[in-house]
Amino acid sequence: MNTEIQNIKQRFEIIGTYSGLDRAIEKAVRVSPTDITVLVTGESGVGKEAFPKIIHQLSHRKHNKFIAVNCGAIPEGTIDSELFGHEKGAFTGATSSRSGYFEVADGGTIFLDEVGELPLTTQVRLLRVLENGEFIKVGSSKVQKTNVRIVAATNLNMEDAITKGKFREDLFYRLSTVEIKIPPLRERKTDIILLFRKFASDFAKKYNMPTVRLNDDAQRILQEYNWNGNIRQLKNITEQLSVLEQERAINGDMISTYLPDPKNNLPALISDNKSDSDFSSEREILYKILFDMKRDLNELKKLTNNFKKTSSNESEKLDDIQSLIPKKFKEIDDSNNQNNVLLDDNYENKNDKYSFAEEIIEEETLSIQDKELELIIKALERNNGRRKAAANELGISERTLYRKIKQYDLEL
């Protein structure tokens, strides 16, 4: 078996001596002669796409079609048509009938990459194919048969996807009759340098330049790095070094500049649920805003009452009131806009929330209505009926003044 595995590695250009990688290849070799459905799992960038090719080439289907489908790259609205085909007129734009991959690959192998991204409706159709080899084209009622071997791959945690309702449990067990798990690069420390040398040699030929080499310190850094992007990330960094560095001997300092700091790539942990202390804090802020509004309105009420009792300096006091009213009510409006979401989340009755504030606003509005009318008349008289000048003196827009004139039915 060791000789056979080595032959497989050479044939499919698989680099590495890690025991976990050898076990994965051995599984693929053993399952190939059968028609068992295989699920290849592993992190993104570990090289999962090589194993469906091994399985197909070593099977009795090797002379028939091998079709690789990236399920995550096909829009949800067209994935059923791509996989199972459609009839003419089945949907807008379906000007002719089309054969899907399961019809075209009859007798061969279909590789469903990123199978965890399939929509739930498509998962139901795929389950039927796995159970009895039957499918129906989109827009058709005719059941068709297909003899296709399915090899799927995913980088998702399928148990989590099943728990969250994103993937059908029965489909998972159908796909994973045999599961081949590909180890991440961080576990294959002895293979990292071998892969780097292979990539460096390939890029030297591609760009017609000498091959880059690693010193001991650079090798140690590569082996200790976490490699979240796995082989794909290592290949990209090797290409960058080959193209950008003038020196062909790469030391530790040089290679460190190309490796992202893993500490900066850690995701932030955000809780979906607010704690009791957060809720209490928001409630206190809400109460403070509302009571500030009440205090401001009380000050406005006192100012109005003082105006009623005092006859001297009438115009000056009216100007003070006029300038204060829009300011206070703007603050109230801004506060309402900023806190509507918070109020809606934490209280059941929106009318009860503002009842005391609305009562005060209504009371104060009524108490100054006559004075507002008096101010408008005086401003218009002083400016000989010129609305724009009167509006500027009142500190309001001409449009607002026009609305007030209509509201009070003033004849000019």
Three-state secondary structure of 43-78: CCCCCCCHHHHHHHHCCCCCCCCEEEEEHHHCCCCC
Q: Which two tokens stand for residue 192?
A: 């990292």
**What pLDDT is stored for residue 282 in this prediction?**
55
| CA angle (150, 156, 161) in 5-degree steps | 95
Tell me the torsion sign for CA atoms 288, 293, 296, 298.
negative
**Six token digits for residue 99:** 């054969």
Given this model, what pLDDT does residue 167 score?
96
120: phi > 0 → left, psi -120 to 50 → alpha, else beta; which?
alpha
Q: Is 201 helix (H, G, I), strand (E, B) or coil?
A: helix
Q: Parallel, antiparallel, or unpaired: how do β-strands 66-70 and 38-41 relate? A: unpaired
pLDDT at position 44 = 95
Beta pairing partners, 194: none
- What is the sign, positive or negative, of the torsion defined by CA atoms of 45, 49, 50, 52? positive
If you ran DSSP here, which 8-state letter would residue 395 be given? T
Q: How many residues does the chain have?
A: 412
Highest mean pLDDT among 257-271, 330-344, 347-361, 396-410: 396-410
Contacts of 89 (CB under 8 A, 6+ apart): 139
pTM of the full structure: 0.63
Mean pLDDT on 104-131:
96
In angstroms, how far is CA 205 from the centroid of its own chain? 39
b/e code 180-204 from CB counts within 10 Å (16+ = b)? bebbbbeebeebbeebbbebbebbe
Find the helix or strand (DSSP H, E) in which 368 lies.
helix 355-382
**What residues contact 186, with CB distance under 8 A and at least 6 apart?**
225, 226, 227
* pLDDT surpassing 90 at residue 287: no
Whether the predicted pLDDT of 295 surpasses 90 = no
Model confidence at 342, in pLDDT bands (50, 70, 90)?
very low
- Quick check: 54 and 8 in contact, CB under 8 A? yes
The rounded distance, in Å, linking the Cα atoms of 301 and 321 is 10
Q: 3-state class of 223 per DSSP?
A: helix
Please report the pLDDT score of residue 291 as a whole number.
65
| SS3 label, residue 95 | coil
| CATH architecture label of 2-183 | 3-Layer(aba) Sandwich (3.40)
What count of Cα atoms within 13 Å lies in the side-chain half-sphere of residue 62?
11
Quote the CA–CA distance of 110 and 150 in Å, as a whole number: 5
Q: What is the mean pLDDT of residues 240-260?
A: 93
**CA 376 from chain center: how many Å?**
55
Mean pLDDT for the stretch of residues 255-267 = 71
CATH fold of the domain at 186-265: Helicase, Ruva Protein; domain 3 (1.10.8)
DSSP code for 265: G
Task: Determine phi and psi for 239, rounding to 5 degrees.
Answer: -65, -40
Do residues 343 and 350 lie in contact, with contact meaning Cβ atoms separated by under 8 Å?
A: yes
Q: Give start-end residues of each CATH 3.40.50.300 domain in the chain.
A: 2-183
Pairing of strands 149-154, 249-250: unpaired
Residue with the larger pLDDT of the pair 260 and 10: 10
- Which is higher by pLDDT, 182 or 313? 182
Of 34, 36, 104, nearest to 64 by C-alpha is 104
Ranges in the chain annotated CATH 1.10.8.60: 186-265
Give tens-digit pLDDT for 41-92. 999 999 999 999 999 999 999 999 999 999 999 998 899 999 999 999 888 8
pLDDT of residue 358: 47
Number of Cβ atoms within 10 Å of the Cβ of 95: 8
CA neighbours within 13 Å on the CB side: how many for 378?
A: 14
- Report the share of the chain in percent with pLDDT over 70: 75
Which helix (H) or strand (E) is 214 found in, with range?
strand 213-214
Closest to 236 measured CA to CA, from 202, 213, 265: 202
